[in-house]
């Protein structure tokens, strides 16, 4: 059976996603300044759940999570957008954070199997063109039984609100980048990860803290 890297990527959508985040990188922090006060506490809680010493951050963006990196871990942080990484490098220098920053697509990670002790992503899999593939790749590079922590906004469970998010999604994704109607908890299951905790953070069930672990070899990741 073909590996994730051997199957076809949606190169057109991936390139469009990269271009979109390159375009908004200069104003990205300004766009989210009004809500970051709320996100900050959630980011801190998510980072308290990672297990080191080697941690992968998927979708580092401009480096908003750097303030919350635990002192006992080494973070390798990736992002699809080089423009976002430029800003992350500046933030790492200002905060004096020792972090390895690499331009890379989570849908085709260039890391060995079982390389990291855990992985974390905050508001990322709403933007990955093929989120299940990205989650499978994330699981692949985390050691068996390792932890994957996600802070995400998802499609509302309320039928009317969920339908409204479906209608608005094409416009929002084109203007701002993320898809607002992703079913990320379901995607985590589809990727073969084992859910340990799904915590509702508010917003009528839209914001979730998801904690999962990678399967042991006796329970291989589904392809």
Residues contacting residue 177 through CB under 8 Å, at least 6 positions apart: 17, 20, 21, 24, 127
Please answer whether residues 147 and 141 qualify as being in contact, where contact means their C-beta atoms are separated by less than 8 angstroms: no
pLDDT tens, residue order, the chain (223 aa):
344 444 577 899 899 899 989 999 999 888 887 778 889 999 999 999 999 999 999 999 999 999 999 999 999 999 999 999 999 999 999 999 999 999 999 999 999 999 999 999 999 999 999 999 999 999 999 999 999 999 998 987 888 887 887 787 777 777 666 787 789 999 999 999 999 999 999 877 899 999 999 998 765 444 4
Q: In a 10 Å sphere around its CB, with 0-12 CB exposed, 13-18 middle and 19+ buried, how is residue 188 labelled?
A: buried
Please answer whether residues 111 and 55 qualify as being in contact, where contact means their C-beta atoms are separated by less than 8 angstroms: no
Instruction: Give strand pairing partners of 195.
Output: 212
CATH number of 11-213: 3.40.50.150
73's tokens: 């871990």
Alpha helix (H) ranges present in the chain?
11-24, 28-47, 82-95, 131-141, 159-176, 184-190
Residue 2: cis peptide before it, omega within 30 degrees of 0: no
195's tokens: 């859910």
208's tokens: 């979730």
How many C-beta atoms lie closer than 10 Å to residue 39's C-beta?
Answer: 18
144's tokens: 């068996």
Q: Where are the domains of the chain?
A: 11-213
203 vs 1: CA distance, rounded Å: 41
What are the C-alpha distances in Å from 31 to residues 83, 141, 155, 199, 223?
16, 32, 21, 26, 37
Please answer whether residues 24 and 83 qualify as being in contact, where contact means their C-beta atoms are separated by less than 8 angstroms: no
Between helix 28-47 and helix 82-95 the angle, nearest 10°, is: 60
Report pTM: 0.89
């Amino acid at each position: 059976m073909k590996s994730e890297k051997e199957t076809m990527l949606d190169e057109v959508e991936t390139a469009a996603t990269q271009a979109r985040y390159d375009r908004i990188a200069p104003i990205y922090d300004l766009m989210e300044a009004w809500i970051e006060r709320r996100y900050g506490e959630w980011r801190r809680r998510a980072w308290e759940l990672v297990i080191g010493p080697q941690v992968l951050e998927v979708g580092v963006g401009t480096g908003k999570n750097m303030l919350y990196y635990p002192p006992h871990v080494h973070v390798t942080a990736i992002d699809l957008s080089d423009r976002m990484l430029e800003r992350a490098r500046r933030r790492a220098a200002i905060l004096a954070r020792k972090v390895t920053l690499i331009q890379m697509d989570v849908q085709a990670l260039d890391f060995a199997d079982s390389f990291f002790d855990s992985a974390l992503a905050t508001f990322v899999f709403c933007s990955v063109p093929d989120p299940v593939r990205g989650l499978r790749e994330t699981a692949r590079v985390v050691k068996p039984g390792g932890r994957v922590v996600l802070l995400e906004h998802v499609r509302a469970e309320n039928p009317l609100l969920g339908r409204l998010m479906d209608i608005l999604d094409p416009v929002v994704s084109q203007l701002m980048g993320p898809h607002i109607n992703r079913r990320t908890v379901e995607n985590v299951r589809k990727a073969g990860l084992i859910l340990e905790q799904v915590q509702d953070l508010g917003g009528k069930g839209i914001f979730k803290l998801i904690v999962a672990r990678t399967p042991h070899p006796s329970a291989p990741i589904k392809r």
